[in-house]
Amino acid sequence: MTTTSNPLFEKWSLFSERYQEFIPNFDEFLMALERPFPIGLRENSLHCLPYSLKEKLEDLDKDYKVPLKGLPFYHVQGERKFWGGDLDHHLGLYYMQALSSLLPALALRPGVNETVLDMCAAPGGKTTHLAELMENKGLLVASEPDLMRRRVLKANLSRMGVLNCSIMDCKGQDLDLKEQSFDAILLDGPCSSEGTFRSDVLTGAKRRKTNYLEYNPKFRQSLHQEQRELLDKAYHLLKKGGRLVYSTCTYDPQENEMMVQYLLDKYTDLEVVPLNFDREIQQSRGLCEYAGHHFSEQLRNSVRIFPHQVDSIGFYVAKLIKH
């Protein structure tokens, strides 16, 4: 099927007009947007109960897939309300999460005795994952300015048995902390969320009030400003030799590679380093050119995740070292 004969080309014109040149197998990408998101369950290792999510799925006679070898994460069948309402979920034995949203924490690889910052923490999927990788040791700081979202974050941290996390009620860019306080920082920044767009989300009963499929320059510019402010703060809070992971759930190079290039231009002691995810995670390299803008060759070390390659949310991940 060629793009010109694909009726989805017009339906998803936001992507067709802006991103077709760099998304591989673009027709397959468009068809993936017509499929619903799979349900992902990440088993929680912080609880003290004799529990196996795999055994539960087998006892329930539920079909499941293990997309990453060695990681207790499962794609399952059924309704979201079933898994979200299940007692084991309320007890914190597992967390409902998209596969690609596991990648930022896996890229950061926080150590058990490190000081780690999650700059945009709510609702807590990545925060609880970081705490799990840290084995509930060290210090994890989570920032969230919105009261309602902070309540959700606190509830998830409590439910998942997180003990090493301190919550700060402010924007990440307004954190009043000493410079070079953290060994590792995760900035899963505010973005246009294009990677979450699928037909079942944007149409019918679930249709959002705002038409996100229309490009809004004013909205995008405000995002770019906030992203730069957060990245500047992250740089100053990061120790020498520390790691910074910047991620978004969007395809827009202006929010992804262009933001990383902003950092490289401003701070010459930063380097984008390669990411080595499980080989079952099919990934595309970051861009070195887009719409007349040229980026450092280092950007090839960043990673793009597309839903027709990995059945999950579209994602961008870059890891930087501060030398």
Place of tokens 């190079």: 253
Task: Specify the DSSP class assigned to residue 120.
Answer: S
What is the sign, positive or negative, of the torsion defined by CA atoms of 296, 312, 98, 280? negative
Residue 249 known to be catalytic: yes
Cβ atoms of 16 and 75 within 8 Å: the answer is no
How far does CA 103 lie from the centroid of its chain? 7
How is 32-78 classified by DSSP, letter by letter?
HTTSPPPEEEEEPSSS-S---HHHHHHHTT--EE-SSTTS-EEEE-S
Catalytic residue among 120, 165, 191, 249: 249
- How far apart are alpha carbons 133 and 136 in whole angstroms? 8
Q: CA-based diameter of the chain, in Å?
A: 57
- How far apart are alpha carbons 88 and 44 in whole angstroms? 10
Q: How many CB atoms lie within 10 A of CB 196?
A: 18
31-51 in b/e burial notation, b at 16+ Cβ within 10 A? ebbeeebebbbbbbebbeeee
Cβ atoms of 127 and 98 within 8 Å: the answer is no
Q: Which residues pair with 152 in a beta bridge?
A: none
Cβ atoms of 271 and 321 within 8 Å: the answer is yes
3 state DSSP class of 315? strand
- How far apart are alpha carbons 253 and 257 in whole angstroms? 5
Establish whether the linkage from the previous residue to 274 is cis, with ω within 30° of 0.
Answer: no
Catalytic residues: 249
